[in-house]
Amino acid sequence: MAERSHLPGIVYIHVPKCGGSSFSAALRLRHLLSNARINLDQGNALLRGEARIASDYRARQEQLAALLKSGKRLITGHVHYNPELHDRYGYCHVTLLRDPVARFISHYRYLQRRHPDPARPARLADFLDSTDAPRLARQYLLYFGQGQSGPGGRSAPSVARALHNLSRFALIGDLGAPRQFHRALRRLSGGPLPYWHRNRAPRSAAVAPEIRQRIAALCAEDLQIYNGLQAARAVA
């Protein structure tokens, strides 16, 4: 499958449990000759908890910088947006989002299925009181709201910064309208793009309204980001 050099390079930022596996796989097929995925679990194995997670995401940033420098046409993965790398290399940035409450529930259930941990509460209602729940609830804030605060440093993530950074994206999709996102992604990639579903989650029991309300409170920042994009009609 030939590449067309006049097409822009693409960085597909895959926020967990936003349906990105299907679309990033389609893009990799479209850019078969020049694509790369960000590897996971590359941080310091001696660390634990939040320190290990932070180390892993720093390693992903290093991978992203190296892949951009190499000129790969497509880079996909669970990696935080980096405005400095965006400025330096000028790639089109793409992401797919979904309702934050639904995303949170899906993320928790995915972890329970695929990464069981005896330290993680077995009931969703109990998990909401855990120290890990706020991190899962603020994925949009963490992926798009981090800002630089000097060489090697970072300031606290913010909703305003996330919305500003997302305003620079070439394409933002909503999992609630997948075919619309697929059409826009096909136009951006400049050629045929397969359409299929991967990583379908098994049907799960409904979540009680009071639990949803608690999740919405945890997801307050992500809801501000998601609703702000909807209000600005920035979502494909």
What domains are defined for the chain? 10-231 (3.40.50.300)
pLDDT number for residue 150: 37
Mean pLDDT, the chain, integer: 89
pLDDT in tens, the chain (236 residues): 233 345 679 999 999 999 888 898 999 998 989 999 999 887 777 778 888 888 999 999 999 999 999 999 999 999 999 999 999 999 999 999 999 999 999 999 999 999 999 999 999 999 999 999 999 999 999 999 985 433 344 567 899 999 999 999 999 999 999 999 999 999 998 888 887 666 666 677 799 999 999 999 999 999 999 999 998 888 87
Q: Which long-range contacts (CB under 8 A, 24 or more apart) does 208-217 make?
A: 211/124, 211/125, 211/128, 212/101, 214/125, 214/128, 215/101, 215/104, 215/105, 215/128, 215/137, 216/100, 216/101
At 11-54, the pLDDT tens digits run: 999 999 998 888 989 999 989 899 999 998 877 777 788 888 88
**pLDDT at residue 199 in the model:** 60
**Residue bearing tokens 């497509």:** 74
Position 130: which residue type? Answer: S
The DSSP annotation for 139-187 comes to HHHHHH--EE-STT-EEPP-HHHHHHHHTT-SEEEETTSHHHHHHHHHH
